[in-house]
């Protein structure tokens, strides 16, 4: 798993986040771990360090910080606390047939983006 401490799963699940300004932005979660996620279609108005509340179908709302972004295409968020293990298991099970462990190459690319910032 590279340098990551927590396994990540590639998923496609609808959700949204509440921006620092209070706007709700609809997204698709593309991968998730106990401590973070990669979201598609984030607002172009987010900046590294911004804190948001993430709502992913099947999980309780969770506070997160923007760690990296590719303006308007995708963004990586680190959760303020770990996702409930049972909820994460249920989410992954719900995506059965579509879910897989994130390939090592993507994990490395994602880590490089986090360092760049």
115: in domain: no
Is 56 inside any structural domain?
A: yes
Q: Tell me which residue range forms the domain holding 79.
A: 9-105
CA separation for the pair 4, 37 (Å, rounded): 13
Residue 111 in domain: no
Closest by Cα among 86, 72, 90, 83 to 32 = 83
Number of domains in the chain: 1
Residues in the chain: 117
Residue keyed to tokens 């969770």: 62
Task: Calculate the average pLDDT of the chain.
Answer: 83
Q: What is the DSSP letter of 80?
A: S
Q: Is residue 63 part of a domain?
A: yes
Q: Which residue has the higher pLDDT, 98 or 18?
A: 18
Is the residue at 1 inside a domain?
Answer: no
* CA distances, 28 to each of 1, 115, 116 (Å): 23, 23, 23
- Indicate yes or no: pTM above 0.95: no
pLDDT digits (tens, 9 = 90+) for 91-105: 988 876 554 455 554
List the CATH number of the domain containing 80.
2.40.10.220
Q: Is 40 within the bounds of a domain?
A: yes
* pLDDT (tens digit per residue) in 42-61: 888 889 999 999 999 889 99
Nearest CA to 52 among 101, 92, 15? 15
56-111: pLDDT as tens digits = 988 999 999 999 999 889 999 999 999 999 999 999 888 765 544 555 544 555 55
Q: Residue 112: in which H helix or E strand, if any?
A: helix 104-116
Give the three-state DSSP class for 85: helix
DSSP β-bridge partners for residue 56: 15
Query: In the prediction, which pLDDT does 2 show?
Result: 47
């Amino acid at each position: 798993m590279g340098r990551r401490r927590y396994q990540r799963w590639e998923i496609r699940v609808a959700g949204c986040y509440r921006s620092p300004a209070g706007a709700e932005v609809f997204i698709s979660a593309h991968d998730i771990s106990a401590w973070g996620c990669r979201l598609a279609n984030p607002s172009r108005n987010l900046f590294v360090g911004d804190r948001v509340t993430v709502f992913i179908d099947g999980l309780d709302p969770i506070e997160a910080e923007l760690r990296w972004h590719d303006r308007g295409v995708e963004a990586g968020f680190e959760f303020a606390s770990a996702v409930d293990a049972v909820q994460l298991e249920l989410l992954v099970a719900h995506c059965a047939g579509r879910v897989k462990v994130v390939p090592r190459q993507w994990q490395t690319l994602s880590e490089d983006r986090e360092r760049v910032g």
